Amino acid sequence: MTDLHNEQAEGVVTEAEQADLIALMARLPHALGATEVTGVFKKTPGDFVVDEVLGFNCTGQGEHVWVQVQKTMLTTLDVAQRITEVTGVPLKRISYSGLKDKQGVCSQWFSIHDKSLSESIIQELDSDNLKILAVSRNSRKLRRGSHGANHFRLRLTGLRSKCGTDSSHELLLSSRLQSIASQGVPNYFGEQRFGFDNIENAFAYLDTLAKRSEENRVPRASRTQRSMWLSAARSSLFNAVLAARVQQGNWDSLLDGDVMNLDGTGSVFLADSEDPALPERLSRMDIHPTGPLWGKGALRSLGGTRALEQACCLRWPTLCHGLERAGLEQQRRSLRLPVKRLHYRFFDSDQLELSFELPAGCFATAVLHELLDYSQA
């Protein structure tokens, strides 16, 4: 077979992999069974409010200025660029802990590495869609993923039961919310992380990376693009493993060879199936099963769990091998997402307000996915 035929065959395989993965991401299974209510989300920016919870205090001294802002219909990168324009501080000296959604009202912290920057200049950032909430100083910059949690306040409108009376949606949603509060939800990455366009770009980038690595050439991409596409590939593979375990009904239970995560930490350990304490710790959500964030190196899981993870991820070899070539290391992420401080109320016959807290790096859409079938206005 000629090289041209090989390239054409590889292209067909890559397209098939891509279509298969996108189809799966569009129909991720529900732990509580098919949803029974429909609704509308993000009709206005105020329907999605998120507040970053640092979990620690600034020292009040140091060469890093820390600024808490509230942004409306702006991305985190939009705010960072505006800080650069107003203060004159280069973008590379501006840091943040997490990327916040554009479609909503979000508060978060930024750090600016400039020991002479005055608070009066910071106040010049204030505008209709960007409010300064607090200014402090710290001895260190704000690092990615360093905040403790995010607190969400969401409003859903146009609630309708898929079958039943006009008011039956309240009973159906209340039942699911009680289950969510007691047992958590599958810790899916949200579409804002993987994104269908990002999946397509990830396949194209990693496929090109494989071909050009043989020629010692790297495909052109900005650091932001590369990070986004690698993240999309990794999060999609994780979702695929989690979806398989949700379908099998063991996403929140202990399997042979599972790697466990200690709740609220990045600590993981290989489960000892003969440890009598593990089932009880699992039931009170002190520990959670994990899935792979794919990269080079051996999976930390063993036995049946490793076999399941390999079978799921290697359905998409372009992504697996590409992530390894890109130099990412194997990591783990909890399969179960505890939903803390959950409160809700119904009003105006077809609307619901709910609030809850999630660990950093987790998605409110994972909660909504388990709750109802929603569309975004």
DSSP calls for 89-105:
--GGGEEES----SSSE
Q: Is the separation of the CB atoms in 157 and 350 below 8 Å?
A: yes
Is residue 329 within a helix (H) or strand (E), and if so which, with residue range? none
Q: Label residues 211-233 b or e (16+ Cβ within 10 Å = b).
A: eeeeeeeeeebeeeebebbbbbb
Residue type, 99: L
Residue 36 identity: E
* Angle between helical axes of 3-25 and 317-325 (0-180°, round to 10): 100
- Residue for token pair 């020991």: 115
Residue 58: closest CA among 50, 48, 68, 49: 68
Distance of CA 282 to the CA centre of its chain: 23
Tokens read off for 170: 């309240």
Q: For residue 229, which of 332, 143, 321, 319 has the smallest C-alpha distance?
A: 319
Q: Which two tokens stand for residue 32?
A: 């509580």
In angstroms, what CA-CA distances link 97 with 78, 235, 293, 334, 358?
Answer: 15, 19, 20, 20, 15
The residues near 198 (Cβ < 8 Å, ≥ 6 apart) are: 228, 229, 231, 232
101 is catalytic: yes
The CA angle 72-160-243, to the nearest 5 degrees, is 75
Q: What proportions of the chain, in percent to the nearest 5, are helix, strand and coil?
A: 40, 25, 35
Name the active-site residue from 3, 47, 78, 101. 101
Catalytic residues: 101
